[in-house]
Amino acid sequence: MIKPRVRLQPRYLLMLGLLALAWLTLAQTALAQAPDATHIQRITDRLNCPLCQGRTLTECEIPVCVQMKSLIQQKLAAGVSDDEIMQYFVIQYGQQVLNEPTAIGFNLLVWVFPLIGMIAGAIIVAVVLRNVARRKPAEAPAATRPLPEEYLRRVEQELKDF
């Protein structure tokens, strides 16, 4: 239990701020040290096994996937660029071989909609909460009133219900 020793709000804010900062620094360092996937894995991670749904080429060991992986290896050795390899596979097996649709044209929508949804949700919640904030000053004095008997009963009721 923390005893209410200090009342100054800014100090708490400062401490929390410092903590957040320290934490971000840590995260930053972590980002810099993230391990690097092998070159071929960076490609196979983005491709699907064309036969088993929901599995990337990296994870899949069925014969066709093994063949595809060795083909990628050959192409990489021959100096073909990543993008060209991806393109080759799209031509061979169709768009569905990419496990994440290329974000151009119509397929952009797959990303746009959830984003719009989240923003709309955030706005709705924000509007609801802002109405609260606006009304707050009027209610502030109530908080300083001593607890009436009725309030205690309500607290008890709440505890029982929760």
Q: In the range 81-110, which residues lie near another protein by CB under 8 A?
A: 90-101, 105-107, 109-110
Quick note: the x/- pattern for another protein over 18-57, rule CB under 8 A, is: -xx-xx--xxxxxx-xxx----------x-x-xxxxxxx-
Nearest distance from residue 43's CB to another protein, in Å?
13
63 binds another protein (CB under 8 A): yes
141 binds another protein (CB under 8 A): no
Nearest distance from residue 46's CB to another protein, in Å?
8
Cα(142)–Cα(130) distance, rounded to whole angstroms? 20
Cβ-based burial of 68 (10 A; exposed 0-12, middle 13-18, buried ≥19)? buried
Question: Would you state the structure tokens that stand for residue 154, as one six-digit string?
Answer: 């309500």
Task: For residue 99, give the nearest of 66, 130, 59, 132 by alpha carbon.
Answer: 59
